[in-house]
Amino acid sequence: PLKEKGRKKNPNLKQLVYGASGSSATAVVDENHESSDDDEGDGEDFFMPKGEQSKNLGGGSDVGYANSEDCSKFVNYGKLKDWKEKKVCESIRNRFTTGNWDEAGLRNK
């Protein structure tokens, strides 16, 4: 998720995807990006200049699953939350029909 900090720095998501000039893209996504627990600064390291990208690739645990590989499947979940903890589950309670429907409805406002 793109949080406050990241958004202010990178106000235009469209530009990040398509490139500033609208021609060839300058921003490339960092695949090694780990979705951190607290979302802090997510927006900042989500996109990276082209050169930076390969630097981060070395020593990844998924040998052979390099950046340029043609894979739709998302596997970079980073450090997993402990979903066995009741407390952790509560954070997504309202995304389930067992949660609060009124609060869930607000998402689509």
Partner 1 sequence: MGKTNYKQLKGSQSFRQRLLLSTLSRKAITIKEIRADETIPGLRTHEMSLLRLFETVCDDGVVEVNETGTQLKYKPGTIMGGKNLVHNCALSRSIGYYVEPLLVLGLFAKKPLSIRLKGITNDPRDPSVDTIRSTTLHILKRFGVPSEGLELKIEARGVAPNGGGEVLLTVPNVPKLTSVEWMDEGMVKRIRGQTFSAKVSVDFEHSMRYAARGIFNNLLPDVHIFQSHVSGLEAGKSPGYGISLVAETNSGCYISADTTVSLGRIEETEELDAEEKPERKPAADTGDEVASWLLQEVEKGGVVDSTHQGLLFTLCALCQQDVSKVRVGTLAPYAVETLRNIKEFLEVTFDIKPDPSTGTVILTCVGSGLPNLNRKLS
Q: Provide, rounded to whole angstroms, the least separation between the CB of residue 36 and partner 1.
A: 12
Q: Provide, rounded to whole angstroms, the least separation between the CB of residue 41 and partner 1.
A: 13
Q: Provide, rounded to whole angstroms, the least separation between the CB of residue 74 and partner 1.
A: 4
The SS3 assignment for 27 reads: strand
DSSP 61: S
Residue 86 CB partners (closer than 8 Å, separation 6+): none
CB nearer to partner 1: give 51 or 63.
63
71 vs 65: CA distance, rounded Å: 8
What is the CB neighbour count within 10 angstroms for residue 56? 15
Positions touching partner 1 (CB under 8 A) are: 1-4, 7, 13-14, 17-18, 25, 29-31, 33, 35, 39, 42, 46, 63-65, 67-75, 77, 80-81, 83-84, 86, 89, 91-99, 101, 104, 106-109
Q: Provide, rounded to whole angstroms, the least separation between the CB of residue 49 and partner 1.
A: 14
For CA atoms 3, 6, 10, 14, give the dihedral sign. Answer: negative
